[in-house]
Structure 1
Amino acid sequence: MTLILCVSDYWQRRHYYNRLPIQPAGDTDKSQKKAVRRLLLQLDAITGNYWLRELLQQKVLRDQLQAEHKVQILWLSFHPPERDTIDYKFADMLAHTIWEHIEMEHLMSWLSTLGGGFSALGEQFERCAQTAGKISLQQLTIGLRVGDPFLQARCKLYYSISLIQRGQLRQAKQMIRAQYQFAKQHEEHDHRLVRMCLGIWLRLRYEYEERKKRRLTVKCNS
């Protein structure tokens, strides 16, 4: 028989675990009714939580209560502990996570400033455009680690600028289109991303027109 576990919290609300389905009234045979053995434990919330985890995750204590004490319903009544405990391990994990995010934001700010400078110089020097692309890839790595899809999309758009400056227009076009589709699907969360895509797309069109003019000039001169 399954051990039914009932937990009563500070506000006397009841939470049931392993509760058996309720049978219709017509199916109940009064002659077969038997007394149900209950066990009430009044515990502070900290100790009670350990009991609850043990009963839900392990079978040893449940089997022992049923086999040796014939308990069918276990009632855990929680009351506030005399002292509140601090979860130092979780606090350290949370502090480390917050510190890591702060450092990443700081690093992203520096990379954005540095990448913007190299991107501006990339209009004249291909080597600077390559460096700006590498910086964008570093930013993308950070975005992947943070798990922010919008940050990842922005980094890919920065990288597409580097591709345009280096003349890799087809690859840049595919990347911008992919980010534009993502931006339109999530436009309500980040309006800037759509505008970034449209702005870089205009730059890409300009480069295509300039390339077409150069080819016509070469063809006419030849």
Structure 2
Amino acid sequence: MHQPVILQNTSSLRKPWFTGTQSVIFEFTNLDDFHGVLNLLETRKHILYSEIRSFYNISDKNEVHIEILVKNPPQNIDFGWERRMKHLFRYMLDLEKLMWNLSTLGGAYSAMGDFDTDYAKTAMKITTHQISLAKKYGDPVILARCYLYTALAEAQLGNLIQAVHIVRAVRHWSKQNPNTEIVQRCCEGVYQKLRAIHIFGTADTSYKYK
């Protein structure tokens, strides 16, 4: 019988909720003590009830009703660190939101860049902002994809050789690092786009898809 488990925690008696019943309330702030009482209730219930009757002088004629309350223990919360973590969380969340908004906007301008180089120039500016955000965000995969967006914009502006160099560099990096399969697939997609631009030309050359 682990009697100290009971005595170490706050307990009190409650008025009977009907005649012949006595309620005993135990409040726990220590999970080990709480689990100890649960174990007693499961394996040595009659001994536990006997100890409770003896401790509180409860007559055998009265039924014992046990209520268990588990409360959080007193804690010294580091509010300074909490504020710092909240700020960091909000900062990263805002970065992510801005990144994907720019990605959607940049994708639209990039699609129109096939027909008008002004759109390609705007897509390049958007990609520059994305690269800056990706560096702050600290995700190398996102940063690599942003460089691929730059390569696509360069090709649409007629700088095909520069675009090929960028894609090759990103592809080489992706093969040297783990968990970069998506970057490798993106490289293949951009390569196909560069081939199409090489064949059909850019918006400045007034190319038309055949």
Residues 1:201 and 2:167 aligned together: no
Aligned to 1:90: 81
Query: Equivalents in 2 of 1:134, 1:208: separation in Å?
Result: 23
Larger radius of gyration: 2
Q: CA deviation at 1:206?
A: 2.6
Query: Equivalents in 2 of 1:93, 1:162: separation in Å?
Result: 38
Could you tell me which amino acid in structure 1 is paired with residue 146 of structure 2? Answer: C
Aligned to 1:173: 164
Q: CA deviation at 1:205?
A: 2.2
1:63-120 C-alpha deviation (Å, 9 max, x unpaired): xxxxxxxxxxxxxxxxxxx842111111111000000111111111210111011111
Query: Equivalents in 2 of 1:138, 1:178: separation in Å?
Result: 20
1:149-191 C-alpha deviation (Å, 9 max, x unpaired): 11110101011111111110111111000000111122x4131
Query: Equivalents in 1 of 2:91, 2:78: separation in Å?
Result: 20
TM-score if structure 2 supplies the norm length?
0.59
Gaps of 5+ in 1: 1-81, 216-222
1:115-139 C-alpha deviation (Å, 9 max, x unpaired): 0111111111100000001101101
Q: List, as ranges, runs of 4+ consecutive aligned residues in structure 1 with deviation greater than 6 Å.
A: none
Residues 1:133 and 2:100 aligned together: no
Aligned to 1:104: 95
Query: Equivalents in 1 of 2:197, 2:124: separation in Å?
Result: 18
Aligned to 2:107: 116
Alignment of 1:3-18 (within 5 A): none
Give aligned-pair identity as a percent: 33
Relative to structure 1, the CA distance from residue 131 to residue 179 in structure 2 (aligned partners, 3 Å threshold; closer, same or farther) is: same
SS at match of 1:196: helix
Aligned to 1:189: 179
Could you tell me which amino acid in structure 2 is paired with residue 168 of structure 1? Answer: N
Could you tell me which amino acid in structure 1 is paired with residue 170 of structure 2? Answer: Q
Aligned to 1:79: none
Deviates more, 1:175-184 or 1:200-209: 200-209
Gaps of 5+ in 2: 1-72, 206-210
Query: Equivalents in 2 of 1:150, 1:140: separation in Å?
Result: 11
Residue number among 155, 163, 166 corresponding to 2:154 in the alignment: 163
In the alignment of these two chains, the number of paired residues is 130
Could you tell me which amino acid in structure 2 is paired with residue 88 of structure 1? Answer: F
Query: Equivalents in 2 of 1:171, 1:190: separation in Å?
Result: 23
Query: Equivalents in 1 of 2:89, 2:142: separation in Å?
Result: 18
